[in-house]
Amino acid sequence: MGYEAKKTEHSGPKRGRGAYWGYRWDAKKESNRIRRENAKRQILGARAEANES
């Protein structure tokens, strides 16, 4: 019956965990912190450029 069944490329879990190996809530907390820091740097950089000109 299923002796010659082949795995397809879509046989794995559909909701993968990406590259983070911890809990989802921990990954989200870290990701959100990094996102806020990057946004802050971008805003401060834009302000500095505006003040220079």
**What mean pLDDT comes out for the span 5-10?**
63
Q: Average pLDDT, whole number, for the chain?
A: 79
**What count of Cα atoms within 13 Å lies in the side-chain half-sphere of residue 18?**
7
Report, in angstroms and rounded to the nearest whole number, the Rg of the chain calculated over CA atoms.
22
Q: Which amino acid is present at 35?
A: R
The first and second tokens of residue 2, run together, are 């299923």
| Residue 8: band (very low, low, confident or very high) from pLDDT cuts 50, 70, 90 | low
35 alpha-carbon distance from chain centroid: 10
What is the model's pLDDT at position 1?
Answer: 55
| Residue 32: band (very low, low, confident or very high) from pLDDT cuts 50, 70, 90 | very high
